[in-house]
Structure 1
């Protein structure tokens, strides 16, 4: 018997951020592993012209729910959407919905957050309002819940990234949250924009900064709540559940892998020897559900923080990721690739910029010129600029390594019975990185680009054609350079003949040496 699954059966669960990547996987795993769960309340707001009902309907059509749909076709009846806005006072929840939540909810999973790394003013304010102030407002609601047994907050392993060694504790905040909230409320926007760099200090972006504030707020305002904090590192495609390689967004690593596989991105700024601390989304969700059970049943006296990371237990490096990804895309190429996959890694900004202009932007200009000549809208340069902007935002994390302790994660694993260790597997020692990255790349091909594996032969032929075009272009370029520069200058010809003669002598010597050895 699974103790974790049995705990959630009959419970009412509240989840924020359920329409996001991790939120959907959490909802799916909860419904599939605990089919007798009473209700899953999800806080949803209207967005991008879609009503709450439309967003929930689109969410339930997602492929991530295919497995639970087979087992329980009426699973959607257990999902109870609540119209809410975390950035508004009292979450903008109706009195009727609030009463239902206060009397019924047994456990809260707070997954909602903005993951934008941009630093313009509107994102600074939005990150503070949603990640920090939204957490505070949800805590106020949770403290009034009559039957609440546990409150689980999803943070990030990089909330304290200004430290190289990060323990499973809550560190002092970058600023006093309440004073900062007051400051943001009464200061003019132009002044906030001017002081933002000073506010962030050593923190690389508003996401990590606001997450550090949130953790401290939880510690200060927990009251009598039983709380746990989960700190995942770079959340990637699923390892096993609900399907290997499942991913539904182009954010972060996913977008970079696809751009490299398409041949659009040929240079990546990262450190080959830095740890790429990736964590599959299903491992994070399994740990989250297990932590919810442990927090509710064992009621620890203090807030337990779980560093959900891989670097300290099963390290994997950016150089290895490049190797595995490029190998996968050469065996299983993406359709209509711009060029042959061949991304290279450098941690030098100057070298990176050199290759950006020489390989990525130069080819983008040529491709856009071709698009114009054929009467189509040029778009490649715009894509390349957006990609490299994203790379610069990720540079802080792809060029450094951190040391995270994992004592609480190990402790939690020791409390699981044999069945729970299978159903809620978060043992990162079992990860084989080459297999996972291959699964990740194929998942991006299948779930993000909607490409079928039957199209691989055609994709390989397309790459061969691209290679032949590149060879023809290089030969043409060489002939043009020869005619313009070398053929018209006696000195250039003399230098050219000297280099060719030297190469010939070297090859002759090498061939003679090989003959003597044999």
Structure 2
């Protein structure tokens, strides 16, 4: 599925890269013999209160308006042994953002929206320019109102400001008509000039996140579009930093500990012990390949089918799990090559789920990565899982990703050095969660608080063989629906209906587990050294107001008291869609 912000670039089915090739063909200039092997150490593994500050007449609230009261471990507050690790002065997050003007793409998506809300609520920011795809200013303003200002995510901010809320957000949030899939981001000359003069920080959050979308669509959204944003950012006179929201899975098919290293043009992620002739990733060649495939197929259906297949084949060839991860990696490579002396921050979150605390616990938008699994299991429609129960999952709440992004922007921009820094926002290395624990927490919750549609909730079974998984799932679902014992009418309609329902549920369970296969057997963890340093450099107040430490998460309480209730409220009750 696409994040909300991906509506910024939804090309028609016959979309072609041809008009953009001239913009990107110079990537070939970067394709020297700079392939780097990154040796990674292998880890052992098994087989199978409310506070505020006042600036410019407005109050900025530095903690959620409805703080969550949980008995959680806190490694950085209230423990005398940690006092030596606390920076007295801190990073200076609030001071950095005072009066700064920010340009954000993808602001209507899950993470982009949380970043906007947090900056507005907790810092004395100048203006936040939101690039919005719309036919004119009125349409952009309408989207801003409906998708951001009136969002329930902003209720906390609305409650804090009361009658002045409307005036506050209208002054701070500036919609800009644009499209990152167009040259110069689709900006008119007046808007472009204003941004070049005003913007201090660019946050590039827009992306297409469908794992196995058409290759050309993902190249356009995740490679050439960020390139355009960077080229525009380089023309901003007061630019302090460019932040790119990526994904931790750009590290590809590697095992052990994934380091916070930049990706270099030409890198592939094939396993280092692979005997095959490892190819070199040439982005210009990949664009050409997608372009040729667009014109080679005979119909729109064939184009879509061929380009989805092509993307998966190229991802497999170069060592990534899917087309999305491959194109996000390509996007990082391009940014690293063209950035010049622009300070760049790469944020690589793992699987983003609902908010831990801010602005309210459990807020989520859209059916996220693990939520279809949670909902299907809660309904009794997922009796088994294709994966290793001892594998470590990696989930991170959206507010921790937003806080890390904001704090890291302040830290890296204050250095005033033309560096590229990578931050993994992950939990697996410091607060690991295994699948066996995850599904146990789900079982405990749904066993005591079943969904209306739930049927026979039992502990999940695990399979390492997909055929065994499919056979077991088919038997369990068939037994639930009693397809062997159901009595039909003289035409057999009732029997056929039950059998069709069984086939549909089995097919969905198969599709779900195939989609998550790459993380069901994922033998790697993500190094978070830069995020840990960030925590140490924060003052005590910053650690409270911009919480980023994953050690504060109790996973049982997070799922049972925060996330699943949030899924029920914002997804199940919000849509009542049958899965």
Interval containing the TM-score (normalised by the shorter chain): 0.7 to 0.9
Q: Tell me if 1:416 matches 2:538.
A: yes
Q: 1:369 to 1:257 in 2, by over 3 A?
A: farther
Cα distance change of structure 1 residues 25 and 102 upon mapping to structure 2, 3 Å threshold: same
Query: Distance between the aligned counterparts of 1:405 and 1:335, measured in 2?
Result: 41
In 2, Cα distance between equivalents of 1:410 and 1:449: 35
Q: 2:557 aligns with which of 425, 435, 443?
A: 435
- Over 3 Å counting, the alpha-carbon distance change for 1:449 and 1:195 in structure 2 is closer
In 1, the alpha carbon distance for the partners of 2:147 and 2:482 equals 38
Alignment-derived partner of residue 56 in structure 2: none
Work out whether residues 365 and 380 of structure 1, in 8 Å CA contact, stay in contact via their aligned partners in 2.
no
2:175 to 64, 78, 81: 81
**CA 1:389/1:33 → structure 2, altered by over 3 Å: closer, same or farther?**
same
Q: Is the Cα–Cα contact under 8 Å of residues 107 and 206 in structure 2 kept in the other structure? A: yes
| CA apart distance, 1:157 | 0.7
Equivalent residue for 2:282?
Answer: 176
Aligned length: 445
* Residue in structure 1 matched with residue 58 of structure 2 by the alignment: none
Q: Once the 2 structures are TM-superposed, how far is the Cα of residue 380 of structure 1 from its aligned partner?
A: 7.4
Give the structure 2 partner of residue 484 of structure 1. Answer: none
Aligned counterparts of 2:248 and 2:400: Cα–Cα separation in 1: 14
Pair 1:79–1:411, CA change in 2 (3 A): same
Matches of 2:104 and 2:482, distance apart in 1: 46
Which structure has more RCO (C-alpha within 8 Å, separation ≥ 6)?
Answer: 2
The aligned counterpart of 1:404 is 526
Find the counterpart in structure 2 of residue 457 from structure 1.
Answer: none
Residues 44 and 52, structure 1, Cα contact 8 Å, conserved in 2: yes
Deviations 1:95-147 (A, max 9, x none): 2221121111111111111110125xxx2111110011111010010000111
Verify the 8 A CA contact 1:42 1:81 in the aligned structure 2.
yes
Q: Quick one: structure 1 residues 106 and 384, their matched pair in 2 at CA, closer, same or farther if it must change by over 3 Å? A: farther
Residues 445 and 221 (structure 1 numbering): CA distance in 2 closer, same or farther, change over 3 Å?
same
The aligned counterpart of 1:148 is: 239
Distance, in Å, in 2 between the alignment partners of 1:361 and 1:113 is 39
Larger helix share, 1 or 2? 1
Counterpart of 1:25 in structure 2 is: 114
Q: CA–CA distance in 1 between the matches of 2:555 and 2:546?
A: 20
User: Could you say what secondary structure the match of 1:345 adopts?
Assistant: strand
C-alpha change, 1:333 and 1:305, in structure 2 (3 Å) is same
**Preserved CA contact (<8 Å) 1:107 1:148:** yes
Alpha-carbon distance between aligned partners in 1 of 2:225 and 2:472, rounded to the nearest angstrom: 42
Q: 1:275 deviation in Å? A: 0.5
Question: Aligned partners of 1:134, 1:228: CA distance in 2, in Å?
Answer: 17
Asked if residue 160 in structure 1 is aligned to residue 277 in structure 2, the reply is: no
Question: Contact 1:118–1:393 at 8 Å: present in 2 too?
Answer: no
Deviations 1:304-336, CA, capped at 9 Å, x for gaps: 111111111111111110001111122222233
Give the distance between the partners of 1:182 and 1:30, measured in 2 at CA: 40
Alignment match, 1:292? 409
User: Contact 1:109/1:153 (CA < 8 Å) preserved in 2?
Assistant: yes
Unaligned segments of structure 2, at least 5 residues: 1-52, 54-89, 269-280, 298-305, 575-579
1:204–1:396 CA contact under 8 A, matched in 2 = yes
Q: Which consecutive unaligned segments of at least 5 residues does structure 1 have?
A: 452-518
- Whose Rg is larger? 1
Q: Which residue of structure 1 aligns with residue 225 of structure 2? A: 134
Give the SS at the match of 1:228.
strand
Which residue of the other structure, out of 368, 390, 395, is the alignment partner of 1:273?
Answer: 390
Counterpart for residue 220 of structure 1: 337
Offset of 1:425 from its aligned partner? 1.1
Structure 2: how far apart are the matches of 1:336 and 1:195? 39
Distance verdict in 2 for CA 1:338–1:421, change over 3 Å = same
Aligned to 2:100: 11
Residues 223-282 of structure 1: CA distance to partner in whole angstroms, max 9, x if unpaired?
Answer: 121111111111111111111121121132012111111212222212100010111111
CA distance in 1, matches of 2:501, 2:173: 41
